[in-house]
């Protein structure tokens, strides 16, 4: 049965009914999804109707989605980092640091067309237990756009217990790099196929944030947040995931233990290990990266280095490590880079760590890239110019107050 937009009153009733029910399920192990090292790259100059055509081509190049989703429940983790109001230079969030709604809608439509029985849109919005639909409305998104893209579409805020009665436990094969396992919202277990929809971005802590780093946000702040209780999950999320970054405190004791309590407190050490753990414990079956328009210089618009860039690219693959390796290369970086080398100047490489855990390969020589050659469409994110006060970009574009761009006469010559 399709869930509709939940009212705040209904949300409060659900929160009250589920408060205090936290006991995790028995350990659940997932085999890594059967996949090839094939990654499809497509050109897409603008959002709107071209997105559906480009996405359909990518999915066809991966062998079609029917074999993956027909008759199954599909969970899609959206990349909606930060709050619903922060923007860069008047631009909508989907143009800069969020996955664009057109990419979400196209993915939902195409997976439903391929036979998916149910599609769940998931995210853990920053510091809130409001229904995910409410969070989207605050950002001027229209949830009905996704409800109309398929016959059975549901939403869930996974930053707390949500619609579930207890958290699901995901143990990391081999014991984990940072934690032995992770307790997550039930939606990450109550699905047959898990999809990560990410943005093509740099990350100030982890170097890059693509489909693997997107999974950092599947962890509920009721357990892993700054304000989570010591012994058991909180009723509602309080604060962000600071403990993952700084190690200033441990998650609630109800969750699986940290592997090495004497380990580094540095974010560049901890965050990549948490991410690698998560994609090993909760494998990604389909990885999609929106690089049509995005930002360079960081993952959020509030950083002084953040600036708009328009690569005009879409990327998709059935292995998250290989897909992120191609995305990293398309940003002008070497996916084989190690700590101390761009983009991992101050962090261990999540690609390297996930490869070490057996999730996939980051070696481009072992990845079949379908579409234009990386060398032909690569955009060097470190060389993207900063707009001046008038909104003029080095590419000869003038940014207007409404967020649109107009090419100057000088650049059109």
Q: Outline where DSSP puts E strands in 190-319.
A: 193-199, 201-203, 207-209, 286-291, 294-296, 307-309, 313-317
What is the DSSP secondary-structure string of 40-57? EEEE--SSSHHHHHHHHH
Question: What's the pTM?
Answer: 0.87
Least confident interval from 92-106, 285-299, 340-354, 388-402? 388-402
Q: How far is CA 265 from the centre of its chain?
A: 24
Give the C-alpha separation, 403 to 391, whole Å. Answer: 10
Tell me whether the omega of the peptide bond preceding residue 89 falls within 30 degrees of 0, making it cis: no
Mean pLDDT for the stretch of residues 221-237: 95
Cα separation of 285 and 74, whole Å?
10
Distance CA 358, CA 97 (A): 29
- According to the model, what pLDDT value does residue 261 have? 77
- The candidate with the shortest Cα–Cα distance to 146, out of 76, 96, 228, is 76
Burial zone of 33 (CB within 10 Å; 0-12 exposed, 13-18 middle, 19+ buried): middle
Tens-place pLDDT, residues 31-52 = 555 456 899 999 999 999 999 9
Instruction: Decide if pLDDT at 366 tops 50.
Output: yes
Instruction: Say if CB 307 and CB 384 are below 8 A apart.
Output: yes
Query: What pLDDT does residue 388 have?
Result: 63
Mean pLDDT rounded to a whole number for the chain? 88
Mean pLDDT for 249-270 is 91
**What pLDDT score does 387 carry?**
75
Res 344 pLDDT > 50? yes
Of residues 249 and 396, more confidently modeled = 249
User: Which ranges constitute the DSSP H helices of 307-361?
Assistant: 320-330, 350-356
Distances (CA, A) of 389 to 87, 266, 304, 392, 393: 16, 35, 13, 7, 10
18/211 Cα distance (integer angstroms): 31
């Amino acid at each position: 049965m399709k869930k509709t937009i939940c009212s705040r009153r209904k949300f409060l009733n659900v929160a009250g009914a589920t408060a205090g029910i936290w006991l995790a399920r028995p350990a659940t192990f997932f085999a890594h999804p059967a996949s090839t090292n094939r990654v499809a790259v497509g050109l897409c100059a603008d959002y709107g109707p071209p997105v559906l055509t480009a996405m359909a081509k990518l999915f066809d190049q991966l062998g079609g989605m029917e074999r993956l989703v027909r008759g199954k429940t599909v969970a899609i983790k959206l990349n909606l980092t930060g709050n619903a109001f922060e923007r860069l230079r008047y631009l909508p969030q989907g143009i800069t640091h969020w996955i664009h709604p057109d990419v979400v809608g196209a993915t939902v439509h195409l997976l439903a067309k391929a036979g998916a029985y149910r599609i769940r849109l998931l995210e853990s919005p920053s510091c809130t237990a409001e229904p995910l639909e409410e969070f989207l409305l605050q950002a001027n998104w229209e949830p009905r756009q996704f409800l109309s893209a398929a016959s059975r579409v549901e939403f869930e805020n996974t930053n707390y217990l949500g619609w579930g009665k207890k958290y699901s436990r995901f143990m990391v094969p081999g014991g984990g790099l940072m934690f032995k396992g992770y307790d997550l919202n039930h939606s990450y277990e109550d699905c047959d196929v898990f999809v990560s929809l990410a943005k093509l971005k740099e990350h100030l802590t982890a170097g890059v944030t693509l489909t693997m780093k997107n999974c950092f946000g599947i962890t509920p702040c009721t357990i892993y947040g700054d304000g989570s209780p010591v012994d058991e999950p909180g009723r509602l999320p309080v604060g962000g995931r600071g403990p993952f970054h700084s190690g200033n405190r441990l998650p609630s004791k109800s969750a699986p233990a940290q592997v090495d309590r004497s380990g580094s407190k540095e974010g560049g050490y901890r965050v990549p290990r948490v991410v690698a753990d998560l994609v090993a414990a909760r494998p990604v079956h389909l990885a999609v990266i929106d690089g049509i328009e995005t930002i360079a210089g960081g993952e959020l618009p509030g950083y002084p280095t953040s600036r708009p860039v328009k690569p005009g690219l879409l990327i998709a693959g059935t292995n998250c490590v290989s897909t992120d390796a191609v995305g990293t290369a398309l940003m002008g970086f070497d996916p084989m880079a190690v700590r101390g080398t761009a983009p991992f100047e101050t962090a261990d490489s999540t690609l390297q760590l996930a490869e070490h855990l057996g999730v996939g390969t980051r070696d481009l020589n072992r990845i079949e890239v379908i579409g234009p050659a990386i060398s032909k469409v690569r955009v060097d994110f470190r060389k993207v110019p900063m707009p001046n006060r008038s909104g003029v970009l080095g590419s000869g574009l003038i940014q207007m107050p409404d967020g649109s761009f107009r090419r100057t006469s000088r650049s059109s010559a």
